[in-house]
């Protein structure tokens, strides 16, 4: 398990006593995300990594201590950096949102320095980039299974009080992708919701966009993806 602080990690372990353990890392910090990857690597290679952490849209643009726009750092840069630094797993799942269809791959302004701030658009863009990451890894690492999942509008703090879907529905597809030997789950470079293989935003399939996002994240973090597994 992963908690953004020692307190959150302890709370998670108390709620899930059968979990093997927890590692700690605040994804708004590049240094703490690197430390999280190092801690995870001390446990050895994982069979599956599910990149689930994320922030929703905010009314104001916030810049982290690293000088990065916060939504982009947590939702995109952090999973990229963890993917680059952790031992490659056999399966990867990146959580996205149905709002990825509204995302715009404006790689010239990922931190919203040029455009007027729009929190929900920044969130939608970040969720598109999560699909781009999943598809880029599927192409770069043909020996792994890398997919994106839209969990639905789930009744969590992030989903808010008007969300329509229950928590078990939101978790089921990524658990299936992580654990199943069903041929339908043993695929790569796909976008799923409720186990349905859907078409994502067309930009996610564009190799130029994929390589551009990987290059942007590498420039920000100084970390490059290892060669294909």
CA distance 118 to 124: 10
Catalytically active residues, by annotation: 123, 127
Question: 């339908």: which residue's tokens?
Answer: 184
Q: Which residues contact 219 (CB under 8 A, 6 or more apart)?
A: none
Query: Rounded CA gap, 88 and 45, in Å?
Result: 7
Residue 63 neighbours by CB distance under 10 Å: 13
Closest CA to 167 of 7, 52, 82: 52
Can you list the positions of beta strands (E) in the chain?
Answer: 2-3, 23-24, 48-51, 91-95, 145-149, 191-193, 196-198
């Amino acid at each position: 398990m992963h908690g953004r602080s020692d307190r959150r990690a302890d709370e998670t372990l108390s709620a899930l006593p059968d979990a093997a353990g927890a590692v700690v890392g605040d994804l708004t910090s590049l240094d703490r995300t690197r430390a999280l990857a190092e801690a995870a690597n001390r446990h050895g290679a994982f069979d599956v990594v599910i990149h689930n952490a994320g922030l929703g849209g905010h009314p104001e643009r916030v810049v982290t201590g690293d000088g990065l726009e916060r939504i982009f750092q947590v939702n995109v840069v952090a999973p990229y950096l963890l993917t680059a630094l952790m031992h490659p797993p056999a399966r990867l799942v990146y959580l996205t949102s149905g709002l990825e269809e509204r995302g715009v791959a404006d790689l010239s302004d990922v931190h919203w320095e040029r455009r007027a701030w729009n929190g929900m658009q920044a969130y939608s863009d970040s969720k598109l980039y999560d699909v781009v990451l999943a598809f880029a890894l599927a192409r770069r690492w043909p020996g792994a299974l890398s997919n994106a999942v839209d969990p639905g509008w789930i009744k969590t703090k992030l989903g808010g009080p008007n969300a329509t879907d229950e928590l078990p529905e939101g978790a089921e597809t990524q658990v299936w992708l992580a654990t199943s030997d069903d041929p339908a789950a043993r695929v790569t470079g796909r976008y799923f919701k409720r186990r349905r293989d859907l078409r994502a935003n067309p930009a996610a399939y564009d190799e130029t966009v994929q390589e551009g996002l990987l290059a942007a994240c590498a420039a920000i973090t100084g970390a490059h993806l290892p060669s294909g597994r």
